[in-house]
């Protein structure tokens, strides 16, 4: 996936879920993800997009967090309707639920996450390891 595809999917997902895109924030200051803010009547959600390389193949991950997700670990949230629409629009991307992201990090399941970075930064869960500011 490229930035254009991510942005297009966010606009379409916002339209289908009665939200409105408020902003796009590129990855900067060391963070390893880009984000899109989508405003709803009850709250604003950040769609986080990270890209990783695994065994020579590119891998895309999508998560939802409180918006905006700035420094530190994002506060992950669940919006099942939004995540379902994003899964339909971005079928090659891996969609993460809040429960998965707040669960333990198992390096056997996620072998491309650097053991050195895990020892140095000590992520408390899978989400902190996948969506972070220390890459």
Nearest Cα neighbor of 133 from 48, 30, 47 is 30
Cα–Cα distance for residue pair 89/53, rounded to 1 Å? 21
Structure-model confidence comparison of residues 89 and 109, the more confident one: 89
- The region of weakest confidence among 45-49, 50-54, 63-67 is 50-54
The pLDDT, as a whole number, for residue 99 is 96
Residue 41 has pLDDT above 60, yes or no: yes
pLDDT tens-digit map of 56-97: 657 899 999 997 665 567 889 999 999 999 999 999 999 999
The pLDDT, as a whole number, for residue 87 is 97
The pLDDT, as a whole number, for residue 135 is 53
pLDDT tens-digit map of 7-39: 999 999 999 999 999 999 888 766 788 999 999
């Amino acid at each position: 996936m490229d930035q254009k595809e991510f942005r297009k999917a966010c606009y379409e997902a916002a339209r289908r879920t009665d939200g409105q895109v408020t902003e796009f924030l590129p990855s900067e200051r060391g963070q390893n993800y880009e984000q899109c803010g989508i405003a709803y009547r009850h709250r604003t959600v950040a769609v986080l997009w990270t890209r990783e390389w695994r065994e020579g193949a590119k891998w895309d991950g999508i998560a939802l967090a409180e918006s905006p997700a700035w420094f530190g670990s994002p506060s992950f949230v669940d919006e099942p309707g939004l995540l379902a629409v994003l899964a339909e629009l971005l079928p090659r991307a891996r969609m993460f639920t809040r429960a998965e992201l707040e669960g333990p990090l198992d390096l056997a399941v996620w072998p491309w996450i650097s053991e050195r970075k895990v020892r140095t930064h000590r992520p408390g869960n899978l989400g902190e390891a996948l969506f972070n500011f220390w890459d």
